[in-house]
Structure 1
């Protein structure tokens, strides 16, 4: 291997030497800077991490796998380290984490090679300067963890396949909200947050453990290598008015937890997720992973799509209020068949617009059941239509399992045929669940 880029160097007499050389050429095609006129940029493939320098304009672009994104412009201020955009981009291109503080006169560089906590060091700098941004360079930045944001701070990368944060302490959370004053107006966007992976347990990727987080904004994040939940709200903590646009999860195993996403608290209003794409694994626990667990608070998810070892997609208990748009269930590696794709227990309101089923087997699509946590049966559930796609999708029993009577004072509705409903309890009909096919039948 070469020292700087780890290109393969086949030893004398190596057979099939063309294979390592071809791999080298593929990497060189990304590593070597492309130089041409700005107008010629479209002639080159925007491979993730590739760099393009426009020789006529000085514009610098980075590839994200599909298009070229402008990173900055090389000019007279390019290496000055002043507050100009050129100074920031020069520091980023040199591999630094860059702190841009409100009251600082110039950006501050933190060299990841000189500290175990480069991102936290940069956050400390911007917090002391009245808030601001922490910019992440290309490549992997190692951080012991946890990263603890302050109010009015941002951590911004160049894209989830370009800027990556690797937490090295197995016991540490990734991003931890635990400050005694609470934290407001934090932004996280454009990077991958990688856990330590391996075969042992890890911390949690994003963890709310103390006081209330307000106005958290998450743009596009990717989680990889966490053997635990990736997003957890502890009991007694209530984040509110938090928005999460797109979260993607690969190779995370929460098979021994309540879910990849865990809302354990009983309060926390107005939390929204745009798209959650979850592809967990079962390599550590050997169990299915429940994707979204909620005990309290209010959560809205527009799109929940999943594969891998995703078992139960939604597990609602107690008095949580949840609303899900399209639920797309496509597991490929489940060790066992889950009892239901969507499990709704207790009296909290739940709205499920639709469930689309592509692969995998579950006993039921919906289960309406008794909540041991607060000792109440199901109520106030709206169950959207079930759509089965393809021969690889199968429901072993029926669409709806009514495993406990629904309180008629808090009725629930299913948008489907009465034949889709199985009553598996023996406590008699209350009429609290109505299947709307053929104008409605009560159970």
Structure 2
């Protein structure tokens, strides 16, 4: 039996994947997983999709049950909030115990951005980040509920979709001119706007909230065009990386915990993975922090390999997906460095198409909408250099691009 000790801080998918990969790849040392929540590690996409829709129970989001951890000799501590990391002593300290490590993985994820106007109003406000958040929000869904959603990002729109499915009256309040405008650009963001309007959602775009007040059991939201009244608010204005522990420990912080392309932090014995890691990307040639399900999985695998002494780079391109009403999409790549052309192929009006974001002749991102056979071509083409005119020519099959 190896005497090496690995400690993992976090209760999300990156942490769960890392410990599973360690055991699957034959690591025989001790593994301790510390999570502040009272739930076993779980993944988050079901919370805004199947769980919020009521199609699955919250427990379906849990990655491995307790028996799996016991069988694989992973010491999981629930409700174990880590207070500090002592890098000199190689120890992680909770309120009651200390855990010595030879190598440490920080997978603390991200926390929701709060909205002071809502929180200070005394009005009924929900957020969506944890299993408990999903259960709480779902409990309010009913026909006729007047739900105001602050923020037209992925979480806000998925909540809107689930709430409409339950018969609620939904209004989305978004500061930009379109929901998802910053992520997808106007060409594709307009598709999502039309989708939600067709399903009865009121979209208030270009809207800035000046006041939120509680009036009995109602919520009054003041915009430039006047007051809007709801029974409940759901705030989805993004998340921020949970770097407090790492920063207090003196690790390099820059939009998350900075790591190299092997997910190694400024301390060679400490790695970071998932939402919290701002990692050098060997394909894109720049640091990248991604808050999506697939990156948590890929980071978990890479971190496990390197925690065990391997030499693996985190080179997977960012990937995410969404399901809203009868609309599904998968997206690969990243447009944070900009793009100068968008190519749409297929039936955009019928919402069965592919979209491609180009910078010069390089495809920096691609997605399909309800065209599930296209994902292999999307993965293959993104990151490559193409002839834009051939890509735009629908007579040329994607397989020939």
**TM-score tier after normalising by the smaller chain length:** under 0.3
Q: Report which of the two has the higher share of helix.
A: 2
Higher RCO (C-alpha under 8 Å, 6+ residues apart)? 2
Give the structure with the higher percent strand.
1
TM-score (norm 2): 0.24
In the superposition, the TM-score normalised over structure 1's length comes to 0.23
Bigger radius of gyration among the two: 1
